[in-house]
């Protein structure tokens, strides 16, 4: 692949800016913010690095052909014209998906089938044989993105979504997506710049992503395979070099990281996940309600994802968020607290003025991620 290969990296809404910063730090050129994605250019090493080291990436895609068509026949012909042989041998396996927006074409499943037919017919023409379909672990996964009449064919370098780091062995209620959790930590600006606490840690995702960041551990260190491993041009030596370089930058964090929860089950799940992430000893885990937790030391960052609990009556949730606010004011002065919740009404009961607000999505739920600077004069009682 050329040194200025176009690359598109997908992420969640609201994480585009931190993803672009991550890409620049890896050496990407021409970064541009898109909707739930960042585009850039780079070489094969950057594609490997992006998969291995990006914390806020969901998928790394390589656009190989962009064209405009106004009907299905023209679409089929345009897909069939691509020199697929440079990406996939006829004996290899293939998977195709399609995402549509805008008017002309109506059914994404049908467009995925049409794309697959066009690719398969390209091989039939030349070899009187065709690649087989393997939806799980194909040699080549092709995405068709069709926006109105504008179509792009992309190769998926990641395979499984990059949020699947491979460390999650146990979960309790409503675990955050790993990419979102890493995004929260990066958006807060914390990077081993002081003590870190998640006092309602659930399965520990936020504290684990914070520890991976603080220790410079590549987020995919425990993952065993990527889509590009099965590519025709897979350069094992280059991959091993990229991996070895990233692994060599692992360091001991300076500041402590704490995760706690009122439930013993959550403490246990967090401990298991920490162990499988190879982070034992880097995060101190405790079973304690937030109301009783005191800051471990002066001035740090607290990030937490309390229950949004739509099942509770508002008075209960309101009361719960009021307790959080009072505790922050009383015991956590000097700290910066970040809280993500989909329950805007409940967030008002924290009773502190947020200095920053960002809209993020936890699955389909629109959430607000709010920053609270806890000054001495916030203290009550």
Which parts of this chain interact with ligand SAM (CB under 6 A)? 172-176, 181, 199-203, 205-206, 261-263, 266, 289-291, 305-307
Minimum gap (Å) between residue 375 Cβ and ligand SAM: 23
Exposed (0-12), middle (13-18) or buried (19+): which is 207, by Cβ within 10 Å? buried
* Phi/psi at 300 (5° precision): -155, -160
Residue nearest to ligand SAM (CB): 202
Residue 202 CB contacts under 8 Å (≥ 6 apart), including other chains: 171, 172, 173, 174, 175, 176, 261, 266, 269, 270, 305
Least distance in angstroms from the C-beta of 160 to ligand SAM: 19
Q: Which is nearer to ligand SAM, 289 or 354 (CB)?
A: 289
Q: Which is nearer to ligand SAM, 253 or 306 (CB)?
A: 306
Report the C-alpha gap between 316 and 320 in whole angstroms.
Answer: 6
Radius of gyration of the chain (CA): 23
Least separation, in Å, of the C-beta of 339 and ligand SAM? Answer: 11
Using the minimum distance from each CB to ligand SAM, give the nearer residue, 202 or 218.
202
Provide, rounded to whole angstroms, the least separation between the CB of residue 96 and ligand SAM: 33
Task: Please say which residue, 163 or 371, places its beta carbon nearer to ligand SAM.
Answer: 163
Pick the closer one to ligand SAM by CB: 229 or 361. 361
Neighbours of 18 (CB within 10 A): 22
Find the shortest distance in angstroms from Cβ 311 to ligand SAM: 12
Min dist CB 307 to ligand SAM, Å, is 5
In angstroms, the CA 358 to CA 190 distance is 16
Q: Dihedral sign, CA of 357, 50, 150, 144?
A: negative
Residue 53 or 209: the one with the smaller Cβ distance to ligand SAM is 209
Q: CB of residue 366 vs ligand SAM: minimum separation in angstroms?
A: 16
Strands 336-341 and 356-362: unpaired
Three-class SS state of 289: coil
Cβ nearer to ligand SAM, comparing 11 with 203: 203
Alpha helix segments (H runs only) across the chain: 16-25, 44-53, 72-80, 108-127, 178-188, 205-214, 236-248, 264-276, 314-331, 344-348
Rounded to a whole number of angstroms, the minimum distance from the CB of residue 322 to ligand SAM is 12
CB within 8 A of 227, min separation 6: which ones? Answer: 141, 156, 157, 158, 159, 160
The residue (of 220 and 305) whose beta carbon lies closer to ligand SAM is: 305
Q: How far is the CB of 175 from ligand SAM (least distance, A)?
A: 4
Our CB check for ligand SAM shows the closer of 26 and 174 to be 174
Three-state SS for 76-102 is: HHHHHCCCHHHCCCCCCEEEEEEEEEC
């Amino acid at each position: 692949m050329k040194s200025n290969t176009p690359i598109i990296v997908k992420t969640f809404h609201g994480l585009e800016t931190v993803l672009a910063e991550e890409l620049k730090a890896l050496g990407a050129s021409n970064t541009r913010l898109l909707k739930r994605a960042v585009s850039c250019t780079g070489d094969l090493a950057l594609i490997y690095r992006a998969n291995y080291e990006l914390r806020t990436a969901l998928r790394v895609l390589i656009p190989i052909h962009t064209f405009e068509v106004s009907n299905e026949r023209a679409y089929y012909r345009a897909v069939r014209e691509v020199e697929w042989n440079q990406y996939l041998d006829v004996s290899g396996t293939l998977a195709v998906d399609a995402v549509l927006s805008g008017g002309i074409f109506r059914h994404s499943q049908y467009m995925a089938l049409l794309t697959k037919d066009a690719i398969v017919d390209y091989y039939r023409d030349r070899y009187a044989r065709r690649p087989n379909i393997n939806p799980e672990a194909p040699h080549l996964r092709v995405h068709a993105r069709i926006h109105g009449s504008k179509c792009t064919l992309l190769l998926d370098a990641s395979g499984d979504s990059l949020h699947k780091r491979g460390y999650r062995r146990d979960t309790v209620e409503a675990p955050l997506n790993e990419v979102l959790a890493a995004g929260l930590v990066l958006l807060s600006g914390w990077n081993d710049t002081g003590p870190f606490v998640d006092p309602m840690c659930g399965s520990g995702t936020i504290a684990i992503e914070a520890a991976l960041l603080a220790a410079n551990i590549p987020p995919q260190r425990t993952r065993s395979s990527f889509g590009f491993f099965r590519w025709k041009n897979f350069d094992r030596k280059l991959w091993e070099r990229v991996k070895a370089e990233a692994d060599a930058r692992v360091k001991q964090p300076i500041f402590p990281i704490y995760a706690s929860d009122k439930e013993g089950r959550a403490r246990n799940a967090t401990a298991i996940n920490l162990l499988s992430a190879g982070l034992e000893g880097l995060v101190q885990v405790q079973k304690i309600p937030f109301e009783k937790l005191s800051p471990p030391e002066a001035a740090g960052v607290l990030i937490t994802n309390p229950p949004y609990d739509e099942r509770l009556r508002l008075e209960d949730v309101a009361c719960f968020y009021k307790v959080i606010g009072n505790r922050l004011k009383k015991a956590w002065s000097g700290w910066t607290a970040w809280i993500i919740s989909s329950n805007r009404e409940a967030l008002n009961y924290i009773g502190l003025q947020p200095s920053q607000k960002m809209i993020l999505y936890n699955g389909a739920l629109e959430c607000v991620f709010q920053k609270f600077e806890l000054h001495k004069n916030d203290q009550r009682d």
